[in-house]
Amino acid sequence: MNPAASLDYLLALGGELRPGRKFDLDAIRVLLAELGEPQRAFPSVHIAGTNGKGSVAALIAAAARAAGWRTGLYTSPHLQRLSERIQIAGAEIGPEALAAATTRVRDAVERLLAQGRLPYPPAFFEVVTAVGFVAFAAAGVDLGVIEVGLGGRLDATNVLLPRIAVITPIGLDHEQYLGSTLAAIAGEKAGILKPGIAAAVCSPQAPEALAVIRAHARRAGVPLAEVSAADAEAAPATPLPGRHQRENAAVAARACALLDQHGLALPPDAVARGFAAVRWPGRLETICADPEVILDGAHNPLAARALAAFLDDQRAAGHPAPVLIYGSMRDKAVEEICELLFPRAQAVVLTAPRQPRALAPAALAQACGPLAARHEVAPDYPAAFAAARRLARGASGEAAAPIFVTGSLYLVGEARDYGCGPAPAP
């Protein structure tokens, strides 16, 4: 397949989640066996959790590159381009390399279906995971840093036997797939802890989640390093803003230290250099000035609490209250998120990303509008941005309020595509 055909093939596989879809590892195991077990071609770090997975993954990969390692970084979802999910040596996979890996995986899928060794076509995430592993093996990466897609125990990435496993903060999200309690969700996340892993690291956790993680680690015989909130103060500095990113840095630093102890040289000076250079889009990312436009995909209550803490810190430092642009999927804890964020804004613009699962702006207004000091409804992101820019204008001589785009990561991706938009009318 050429690059355009390979993208068409992947996107035609459907969405990340299908209602009623049975999760297991059978299909991905059969597919990877047919491909020659590419996931065994490189040592890896495997990262599960509700929030912070991508930031921790980016930090570890940046440190490894600073130490001279050729890295493969696999994350999800993407914000703008599917190729963001598969990064080699710090750059998105190129079109030709993506097409080559996708062609190999597609051909293997078709053989397996024709022979009856797969009873049904693999799902989108299973195929993209296989493509990532094939691409990393072909590129000869020295270390793969792999983020779990959903849960952990039955996630397609859980065919790995990583050198180090990491579990970031656990909160309520995707309850229809993972369970309705923190303990149940922690059990799914801790399913990445398996015999043979050299060591594991976990972020500060709620007590009920930590008890489950400890029990899984004990049963698997995996030594568990627990990072405390106090460890954040000693973590290497990063340009990623927010208190929560200090904890993510502490977790990533502990994982790097364990890699260094278990055969992959990651000295502290490389960790410091890598962390200082890291970038992670869509997480308190500033994309415009005058007014300042900041993107943050706070799509669940745990992420919303982190954003709320950042907004409180900004207000304490004398910054004006922001204007929020907010949109969400229907399956999210919308009211809890709105209760955390809307009272901290001077105005909120309610909109919807271009997704079939998006919650209609009018429904958002009915559910959450009263929580805002002022709110407006916009049908799409360009209209929402124009409204937010108008609302953010300061009085004569006053600075404009910052605009925060938050809620769905799909909305954040649209905001990155749109950029700073056309100049406002005078």
CATH of the domain at 59: 3.40.1190.10
Q: HSE on the CB side for 144, CA within 13 Å?
A: 29
- Please choose, from the candidates 123, 100, 133, the residue with its C-alpha nearest in 3D space to the C-alpha of residue 34: 133
Neighbours of 382 (CB within 10 A): 14
Q: How far apart are CA 99 and CA 96, in angstroms?
A: 5
In a domain, 342, yes or no: yes
How many Å apart are CA 337 and CA 300, to the nearest integer? 7
Q: In this structure, is residue 61 part of a structural domain?
A: yes
pTM of the model: 0.94
Full domain range(s) for residue 207: 3-277
Q: Are residues 125 and 211 in the same domain?
A: yes
Looking up tokens 């400890």 gives: 214
Give just the sign of the alpha carbon dihedral 375, 381, 386, 390.
Answer: positive
Which pLDDT belongs to residue 127? 97
Domain-terminating residue out of 223, 250, 277 = 277
Name the DSSP class of 19: T
- Specify the pLDDT at position 68: 96
Could you give the C-alpha distances from 380 to 165, 354, 361, 384, 411, in angstroms and in order?
40, 8, 9, 6, 9
CA distance 61 to 57: 6
Among 277, 301, 334, the domain boundary falls at: 277
Contact 191, 153 (CB under 8 A): yes
Question: Got the DSSP string for 197-221?
Answer: -SEEEE----HHHHHHHHHHHHHHT
Say how many domains are in the chain.
Answer: 2
Q: Could you say which of 277, 296, 313 is where a domain stops? A: 277
Do 314 and 269 share a structural domain?
A: no
Residue 425 inside a domain? The answer is no
Q: Please list the pLDDT of the chain residue by residue as tens digits (426 residues).
A: 999 999 999 999 976 555 445 678 999 999 999 999 999 999 999 999 999 999 999 999 999 999 999 999 999 999 999 999 999 999 999 999 999 999 999 999 999 999 999 998 999 999 999 999 999 999 999 999 999 999 999 999 999 999 999 999 998 877 777 888 999 999 999 999 999 999 999 999 999 999 999 999 999 999 999 999 889 989 999 999 999 999 999 999 999 999 999 989 999 999 999 999 999 999 999 999 988 999 999 989 999 999 999 999 999 999 999 999 999 998 888 999 999 999 999 999 999 999 988 999 999 999 999 999 999 999 999 999 999 999 998 654 567 899 999 999 999 999 999 999 876 654
